[in-house]
Amino acid sequence: MVPNETTNSNCVKNDLLLSYSIFITFAMKYNIMILTDTHTHLYSSQYQDDRNEMIQRAMDAGVTRFFVPAIDSSYTQRMYDLETQFPENVFLMMGLHPTYVKENYLEELAHVEAEFAKRKFYAVGEIGIDLFWDKTFLKEQQHAFQHQIQLAKKNKLGINIHCRDAFDETFEVLESEKASDLFGIFHCFTGDLAQAERAISLGLKLGIGGVATFKNGKIDQFLHEIDLQHIVLETDSPYLAPAPHRGKRNESSYTLLVAQKLAEIYNVSVAEIAQITTENSKAIFGI
C-alpha cells in the first residue's frame, strides 16, 4: 500500500509522541525538573512580537509541557499553528469559553463538535460560567457548559473549567453531571477551602497560578490543607502574572514562580512540586 498523507501524518505524530514519552521517562529517571503549565494562551496577540522567545524562556525555566485551551472558533487556526511549530510541547484543548457564549453559541458548539470529529484533543476547555462581565447569557452559558461536559464524557476526556463570580451556578451544573467519568481541572481556582473540597469531591484538580502569590489572594492561607495530589500548576498567560510581575504580561516561564510559592507553602522542594504536579497533569490529560 502506498502511504497517503493521512497515514504519513499519523506515523509522524505517533513517532513524536513516542519520542516525547522517552524524554519524559529519561527526565524522571535522572531527576530533570519538568514543569507543566496546564493553562496558557500561547496564541494570544500579546505575544505576537516575541512568541518564540517567550516559549524559549519557559523551556529554559523547565516548562516543557504547555496545555492550550480554546476560546472560540476564531482562535482555532492559531492553536493548530502553534501545535505544528511545537509538536512535542504544545497540547491542545477544544471548547467554547463562557464569555464567548453569545447569540451564535449553537454555531460555536457545532464548531467544537466538528473539530472533535476530525482529530484528537487532550481536554474539553475552557468551559464554564462567567458572570463578572455580563449576566445576559446565563442560561446559554449553563446549556453550553452542560453540553460540553457531556461531550467530554463521550470522548472520555477531562474538562477545564472557567468560573468567575459564578461558583454556585458552576457547581449546580457540575452536580447535575456528577459521575465517575467526570474529571478535570478547576482552572484558576480562587475559591475558599469549602469550595476547594467540593471541587475535589467532584473529581477535579485545582489549577493554581499567580493568585497564590498575591498578598490578597487568600488561597495561600489554606492550600496546605489540600493534598498535593489535587493540585496542578498553571499561568493563564498572558493574564494574572504572579508576584513580583503582578499587573504585567504573564508568560509560561512564570510557572516556576508559582512552583516556588507552593514549595514554600508545602515546605517541600521545587523539584518535588514539579514532579507531583506534572504527574497530576498526566492523570488528567493522559500524556
The pLDDT assigned to 264 comes to 98
- Please give the Cα distance from 58 to 34 (Å, whole number): 11
Q: Is the pLDDT of residue 170 over 70?
A: yes
Binding residue positions for a divalent metal cation: 39, 41, 126, 162, 187, 236
* 119-137 residue pLDDT tens: 999 999 999 999 999 999 9
Alpha-carbon dihedral sign for residues 239, 194, 192, 253: negative
Weakest mean pLDDT among 21-25, 165-169, 210-214, 267-271 = 21-25
Task: Work out the percent of the chain whose per-residue pLDDT is above 90.
Answer: 88
Residue 15: is its pLDDT beyond 90? no
Give the position of cell 467554547: 96
Q: pLDDT averaged over the chain?
A: 92
**HEC letters along 130-186:** ECCCCCCCHHHHHHHHHHHHHHHHHCCCCEEEEEECCHHHHHHHHHHCCCCCCCEEE
Q: Which residues does 149 contact at the CB level (< 8 Å), separation at least 6?
A: 124, 127, 159, 173, 174, 177, 182
Whether residue 10 is predicted with pLDDT greater than 90 in this model: the reply is no
- Asked if 195 contacts 235 with a C-beta cutoff of 8 angstroms, the reply is no
- Residues in binding site: 39, 41, 126, 162, 187, 236
Fold assignment, 33-285: TIM Barrel (3.20.20)
Place of cell 512535542: 88
Taken in order 167, 172, 176, 179, is the CA torsion positive or negative? positive
| pTM (global) more than 0.85 | yes
Across residues 93-102, what is the average pLDDT?
A: 98
Burial of 29 (0-12, 13-18, 19+ CB in 10 A): exposed
Q: pLDDT, tens digit, for every residue of 248-272?
A: 999 999 999 999 999 999 999 999 9
